[in-house]
Chain A
């Protein structure tokens, strides 16, 4: 069997005295899409942020293509180049144009010439329907447009893995669909993704594997259709029941 793209091995993380990740292990294969679901505070966002070292973990290991992400071979920026992340609140730089947002990392971190990065950025923006907004500022765009720019920004360095942290949670309902269509397209293009989401319908549709987290542990994992239909774990069943009652599935 080939090496998984991401191996998470017995990961433990404390915030102060609070245990937020309690020995999480998870493999994500090449081109696989894994959705992390669970209530707020279950540790799913923290787990996601450990993968690109936005958050440092205490014990355990994460390997990217078999190499520990703490390995020196990644240097200061190698991991960030290969693992992109998109946030719930977009986090675009408000004082920069869309184009500058997208080209900042390629220019300043990876030292590529401006002309080259801008050509690539415009190409990507056009692909995601934002070609006309290259010179707009983030505050001139709708939430859905901003999130598309954030996705393009994370793709600008050609990452191998994309992490999505509740990227539709701040959007108006009518804008969620367009973002989800983009994610589905990225999946079809073969992007490996780890997705934290509350959109259960989307998780069922796009995920190869769904993991249900609670109290910093993965309580259940498996094929989304089977899991949403007949959850094996009592806690998963309760969680899904609440989601159904809230009309989100």
Chain B
């Protein structure tokens, strides 16, 4: 190699490499290096989706399907009510997200505390998680949405919206509690020892030493749950909550045109894509942080 740094002038320094200058960065034509892969990927995307589009639109029934599902007039007509339904979906999502994050944290902490005092709680939480992870979310929504309002419980709302949201919170918190717990268990045993030796109680150890590290550990996994929940609130449409899906179905039932469903799908997609990018970002930051620490 000709561009290797030459040996230090004046002979070898006594302590090794102190005088040697670092090699200059190798000149690379980064612009040119980036063009070819980009061109290839754009071309392949165009080819794949072009072929797929041509294949679908060349089907004999395409014009009818287009009229039924991709009817622009119908889309515009359905848009306001689907959007108002989507607004409900978003509100359910945010409420469920907030309640679920807190409730799951309580469950995870109760399951992770080791003092004998907490043994019954640990048992209860284990049973809870077994039950709510074992039942499909759709079934829970149906059971809660139709069953509990029928009880006419005094002092509690009777709407399907309320109980359907509760069902989503209970179901998702079982999963999220387990994610939190994996984060808590990933914190090194030495942290517990250090906190205990400083005189911190188990509860203080959890709050000040363990949880901040655990939450950071599981943030990428939690972001995925956030995205999943955002879509799964559509399950509430089966108990008559007038969310985006329900509103779209109502339009469909009135006009025998399915374009409203496509509108709802587009709205969900528009909302989840930023969340997914945010999740990617958080994951990447987390990996960089780990690499930095390891190095």
Using Cβ atoms and an 8 Å threshold, which residues of chain A touch B194? Answer: 87, 91-93
CB distance from A144 to the nearest CB of B (A): 18
Size band of the A side of the interface? 20 to 34
Asked if B199 is an interface residue, CB under 8 A from chain A, the answer is yes
Tell which of B196, B200, B212 touches A54, judged by Cβ atoms closer than 8 Å. B196
Size band of the B side of the interface? 20 to 34
Tell me if A109 and B193 are in contact (CB < 8 A). no
Within 8 A of B (CB), among A70-127: 76-77, 79-81, 84-85, 87, 89, 91-95, 104-105, 108-110
Asked if B66 is an interface residue, CB under 8 A from chain A, the answer is no
Instruction: Specify the chain A residue showing the minimal Cβ separation from B194.
Output: A91
CB distance from A83 to the nearest CB of B (A): 8
Q: Mark B187-218, 1 if CB is under 8 A from A, else 0.
A: 01011011111111100100011001100100
CB distance from B150 to the nearest CB of A (A): 48
Asked if A172 is an interface residue, CB under 8 A from chain B, the answer is no
Tell me if B190 and A87 are in contact (CB < 8 A). yes
Tell which of A91, A105, A110, A154 touches B193, judged by Cβ atoms closer than 8 Å. A91
Using Cβ atoms and an 8 Å threshold, which residues of chain B touch A91? Answer: 188, 190-191, 193-194
Using Cβ atoms and an 8 Å threshold, which residues of chain B touch A80? Answer: 196-199
Tell me if A93 and B193 are in contact (CB < 8 A). no
Residue of B193, B195, B198 with highest tally of chain A CB at under 10 A: B198
Tell me if A54 and B204 are in contact (CB < 8 A). no
Using Cβ atoms and an 8 Å threshold, which residues of chain A touch B195? Answer: 93
CB distance from A162 to the nearest CB of B (A): 11
Q: Mark A44-82, 1 if CB is under 8 A from B, else 0.
A: 000000001010000000000000000000001101110
CB distance from A90 to the nearest CB of B (A): 8
Instruction: Specify the chain A residue showing the minimal Cβ separation from B213.
Output: A95
Tell which of A94, A95, A108, A153 touches B200, judged by Cβ atoms closer than 8 Å. A108
Q: How far is the CA of A114 from the CA of B217 in the complex (A)?
A: 29
Tell me if A104 and B190 are in contact (CB < 8 A). no
Instruction: Specify the chain B residue showing the minimal Cβ separation from A81.
Output: B199
Instruction: Specify the chain B residue showing the minimal Cβ separation from A92.
Output: B194
Using Cβ atoms and an 8 Å threshold, which residues of chain B touch A81? Answer: 199
Asked if A223 is an interface residue, CB under 8 A from chain B, the answer is no
CB distance from B261 to the nearest CB of A (A): 46
Asked if A178 is an interface residue, CB under 8 A from chain B, the answer is no
Instruction: Specify the chain A residue showing the minimal Cβ separation from B197.
Output: A85
Instruction: Specify the chain B residue showing the minimal Cβ separation from A94.
Output: B213
Residue of A54, A81, A85, A91 with highest tally of chain B CB at under 10 A: A91
Q: How far is the CA of A220 from the CA of B212 in the complex (A)?
A: 45
Asked if B64 is an interface residue, CB under 8 A from chain A, the answer is no
Tell me if A77 and B197 are in contact (CB < 8 A). no
CB distance from A27 to the nearest CB of B (A): 22
Tell me if A104 and B201 are in contact (CB < 8 A). no
Asked if A205 is an interface residue, CB under 8 A from chain B, the answer is no
Tell me if B190 and A77 are in contact (CB < 8 A). no
Tell me if A105 and B199 are in contact (CB < 8 A). yes
- Given A91-B193, A153-B198: A139 in contact with B293 (beta carbons within 8 A): yes
Residue of A77, A79, A104, A154 with highest tally of chain B CB at under 10 A: A104
Q: How far is the CA of A93 from the CA of B199 in the complex (A)?
A: 15
Q: How far is the CA of A54 from the CA of B292 in the complex (A)?
A: 32
Tell me if A93 and B196 are in contact (CB < 8 A). no
Q: How far is the CA of A80 from the CA of B199 in the complex (A)?
A: 5
Using Cβ atoms and an 8 Å threshold, which residues of chain A touch B197? Answer: 52, 54, 80, 84-85, 154
Q: How far is the CA of A49 from the CA of B293 in the complex (A)?
A: 29
| Contacts A93-B191, A105-B199 known; 6 new A-B pairs at CB < 8 A | A54-B196, A80-B196, A85-B197, A95-B212, A105-B198, A105-B200
Q: Which residues on A are within 8 Å of B, measured CB to CB?
A: 52, 54, 76-77, 79-81, 84-85, 87, 89, 91-95, 104-105, 108-110, 139, 153-154, 157
Return the 8 tightest CB-CB contacts between A and B, nearest first: A80-B199, A77-B199, A91-B194, A105-B198, A91-B190, A109-B199, A95-B212, A85-B197
A selection of 30 A-B contacts at a CB cut-off of 8 Å is A52-B197, A54-B193, A77-B199, A80-B196, A80-B197, A80-B199, A84-B197, A85-B197, A87-B190, A91-B190, A91-B193, A91-B194, A93-B191, A93-B195, A93-B209, A93-B213, A94-B213, A94-B293, A95-B213, A104-B198, A104-B200, A104-B208, A105-B200, A108-B200, A109-B199, A109-B204, A139-B293, A153-B198, A154-B197, A157-B198
